[in-house]
Amino acid sequence: MKGPKTLINAEDNWQTDMGALFNGERVVYRGKDLFDELSDTSWFKLIMYGITGREFSDAQIQLFEAIQVITVSYPEPRLWNNRVASLAGSARSTGILATSAAIACSEAKIFGNQANIVALDFIRRAKLAIKDDDDIADFVINDLKDKRAIGGYGRPLIDNDERIAPLLERAKNLELATGPHVQLAFRIDEFLSKSRYKLILNASGLSAALMADQDFNYREYYYATMLAFSAGIIPCHIDAINHKEGTFFPLTCHRLNYTGKDLRHW
């Protein structure tokens, strides 16, 4: 057993290259002086630098922003995560509590951050495994059997994704749409959409491929997209605050479909 040796060494001893505040003087951000070297950096560029330690071109940053603007910035209060902010607003809770909770709920399996990282992992593995088009069927079907879903493919209820065209258009304008992961994503779409599985490439899949072409691994992608929904979430809270309290889709007692035990006494 190792015992507490590691903790003894760590007591009052945090070694870091991420940054620090020199109170009343300066701030260091991943090795750079925040006020001197980074003060004219855009907020999004700073976040990307904070996550990866890498600096990106303006075109790359515009692509990352476009992914977030086009794919998840929907001020639609019925979406699962946005609805949390609307409910909090209707309950007259604070905007930050609402937004934090809604962002936390964005770490979801059927959409959002859990789905995103699976999509990025899939396309990176596919790129390594698939040498030519003959390999696509084997790889994809094996993955589907193994994991029962393909990250970045399929959409519930409908058979198209309205976000693919505008995102692709934006990526083309930035000359960042033709990387090997994006090309492979569409070749897999060609196979899967015509197969008996009828799965189409969705926005999460295209976003993952675009980010994989910019050399993001799934961890970096996870951090890069964790605030993505906020542009849709915050207006939902404001909207609910601007309505009468408690009026966000109120439910009568009749709206419970009870399927449990009959009435009984303790």
For another protein, give the closer residue by CB, 24 or 242. 24
Judged by CB under 8 A, the stretch of 35-43, 169-177, 180-188, 233-241 that binds another protein is 35-43
Q: Which of 92, 96, 172, 190 binds another protein (CB under 8 A)?
A: 96
- Does 253 bind another protein (CB under 8 A)? Our answer is yes
Residue 80 binding another protein, by CB under 8 A: no
Regarding 248 and contact with another protein (CB under 8 A), the answer is: no
CB-count burial class (<10 Å; 0-12, 13-18, 19+) for 111: middle
Token readout for 27 is: 């701030």
- Residue 228 Cβ, how far from another protein at the closest point, in Å? 14
Contacts of 20 (CB under 8 A, 6+ apart): 27, 28
Contact flags string 101-130 toward another protein, x per CB under 8 A: x-----x-----xx--xx--x---------
- Per CB under 8 A, contacts with another protein among 177-196 are none
The residue whose two tokens read 């909090």 is 88
Positive or negative, the CA dihedral 156, 162, 167, 168 is positive
Between strands 19-22 and 26-29, the pairing is: antiparallel
Contacts of 167 (CB under 8 A, 6+ apart): 66, 67, 70, 71, 203, 206, 207, 210
Shorter beta-carbon distance to another protein: residue 97 or 231: 97
Neighbour count for residue 180 (Cβ, 10 Å):
12
| Residues that bind another protein in the complex, under the rule CB under 8 A | 1-7, 12-17, 19-20, 24-26, 28, 30-33, 35-37, 93-94, 96-97, 100-101, 107, 113-114, 117-118, 121, 218, 222, 250-266
